[in-house]
Amino acid sequence: MTDPFDEYEEDEELREMRDEFQEEIKEARDDLEEEKREIEGEIREKERKLEQIRDKINDYTEKLNNEYSEELEEEIEDLREELEDTYEEYRELESRLRETTDEGQREIYEKEREMHEKINEKIYKLREKAVKAREKAEKARQKAEKYARRAQRRINISVPEDLSDEWRTWGDQLGSSVSELVRKSMKFVKDNIGDPDKLDQWGQKMERWGDKLEKAVQTSGKTVERKVKQVISPDKELIKKRIRGMVKLQKSIPIDKLAQVLQKSDKFAENFIYELVAEGIEGELEDGVFKYEGDPEQMLIVLFKLIDKM
């Protein structure tokens, strides 16, 4: 007979549920990483193009300084327009990368949160079932003990000596029939209910199993909470990369563009520049643009340290 409270069947249901969610989450992560790689590849290509255009402008400007040429001047003007257009495309790609990353991480978080809720709901139902199983096991135990007590009693129908042999024979047969009825009833209880002690042990095991699963879900919840914080926190390495590109391109730090990269207000970005100056980086802040002096790499090292402290 199949046990109607088969714990392995329930365990398999939870395992399949968790595996399905984890497969969906893995696919979402893989899709996000693939899309990010494509956009980052386009960004690197734009950076290379910007470098090439800037090098051409420097070469043509140097030639123009040595010998004026109207043709060279027009070429430089065209290159500057191309540089501006390319930089705008570069900024659009950066914005697209940021939006794609945020959207993908939100999707992954929602899937993880849904997995947590579904598993928690399933465990709650299992614990309810475990309690009902304990109650049923207790009822089965009481019923079995009742039948056992009856079986242990010796059924003795005595017949007076003065009655006929036929009556005594009938009394013995009746006693045997009742005893057989009790034995068959006990067999029916055992076949359909099972060993009461084992049912009680199973009920206790189900409760312990439910407790362990509940703790596992609580741990999973903490993991999901940690991932939420990761989604909300800015990607500092991506911020550093964007700032490096901006510094190389413009040879300065515009306050408004710094604010965009940091995802902060203009006031915050301006205070950030003041902190940079306080760390020993010299320069001037004019018309919303910080024009630093000295080695740009040294300036970036200090700037990146400030970003790490954000």
Query: Is residue 53 a part of any domain in this protein?
Result: yes
User: What's the pLDDT at 293?
Assistant: 86
User: Where on the phi/psi map is residue 295: left (φ > 0), alpha (ψ -120 to 50), or beta?
Assistant: beta
Q: Where in 212-268 does DSSP place strands (E)?
A: 253-254
* In a domain? residue 217: yes
Give the amino acid at 306.
L
Confidence band (pLDDT; 50, 70, 90) for 118? confident
- Tell which of 205, 232, 259 closes a domain: 232
Do 242 and 226 share a domain, yes or no?
Answer: no
Is residue 1 one of the residues assigned to a domain? no
- 82-115 pLDDT, tens digit per residue, is 999 999 999 999 999 999 999 999 999 998 899 8
Q: Are residues 35 and 153 in the same domain?
A: yes
- Is the same domain home to 78 and 221? yes
Number of domains making up the chain: 2
Q: Can you read off the two tokens belonging to residue 217?
A: 């879900």
Mean pLDDT of 214-222: 52
Per-residue pLDDT reduced to its tens digit, 145-197: 776 666 554 444 444 454 445 545 555 554 444 445 445 444 544 554 455 55
Which residues, 6+ apart, have CB-to-CB distance to 72 below 8 Å?
60, 63, 64
> How many CB atoms are located within 10 Å of the residue 173 CB?
11
Q: How far is CA 77 from CA 80, 145, 223, 248, in A?
A: 5, 102, 55, 20
Residues 199 and 304 in one domain: no
Mean pLDDT of the chain: 76
Q: In one letter, which amino acid is 1?
A: M
CA dihedral 145, 147, 148, 150 (to 10 degrees): 130
CB atoms within 10 A of CB 207: 15
Select from 204, 232, 260 the last residue of a domain.
232
Calculate mean pLDDT across residues 254-263.
89
In this prediction, residues 271-300 reach a mean pLDDT of 88
The distance in angstroms from the start CA to the end CA of the chain is 65
Q: Give the tens place of pLDDT for each residue, 70-80.
A: 888 899 999 99
- Can you read off the two tokens belonging to residue 109? 């978080």
Residue 115, classified by CB atoms within 10 Å of its CB into exposed (0-12), middle (13-18) or buried (19+), is buried
The region of weakest confidence among 213-217, 281-285, 294-298 is 213-217
Q: Indicate whether 49 pLDDT > 90.
A: yes
Range of the domain at 12: 7-232
pLDDT at residue 20 in the model: 87
Res 159: pLDDT: 45
Is residue 277 included in any domain, yes or no? Answer: yes
Closest by CA position to 305, among listed 284, 276, 263, 278 = 276
Q: Rounded to the nearest 5 degrees, what angle is found at the Cα of 30, between the Cα atoms of 122 and 243?
A: 120
pLDDT of amino acid 154? 42
Within this chain, do residues 271 and 243 fall inside the same structural domain, yes or no? yes
Is the same domain home to 122 and 86? yes
On whether both 245 and 228 belong to a single domain, the answer is no
| CB-neighbour burial class of residue 123 (10 A; exposed 0-12, middle 13-18, buried 19+) | buried
Name the packing angle between helices 7-66 and 196-232 (round to 10°): 10
Question: What CA–CA distance (Å, rounded) separates 266 from 153?
Answer: 93
Residues 259, 302 within the same domain: yes
Euclidean distance between CA atoms 263 and 310, whole angstroms:
12
Tracing tokens 């991506």 back to the chain, one arrives at 238
Q: In Å, how far from its chain's centre is CA 156?
A: 71
Q: Which of 209, 232, 255 is the last residue of a domain?
A: 232
Residue 4 has pLDDT above 90, yes or no: no
Question: What is the model's pTM?
Answer: 0.43
Q: Is the pLDDT of residue 222 over 70?
A: no
Give the mean pLDDT of 45-74.
89
| Residue 152 belongs to a domain | yes
Report if residue 265 sits inside a domain: yes
Within its chain, how far is the Cα of 121 from the centroid?
17
**233, pLDDT greater than 90:** no
> What is the biggest distance separating any 2 CA atoms in the chain, rounded to whole angstroms?
151
pLDDT at 179: 47
Percent of the chain at pLDDT above 90? 24
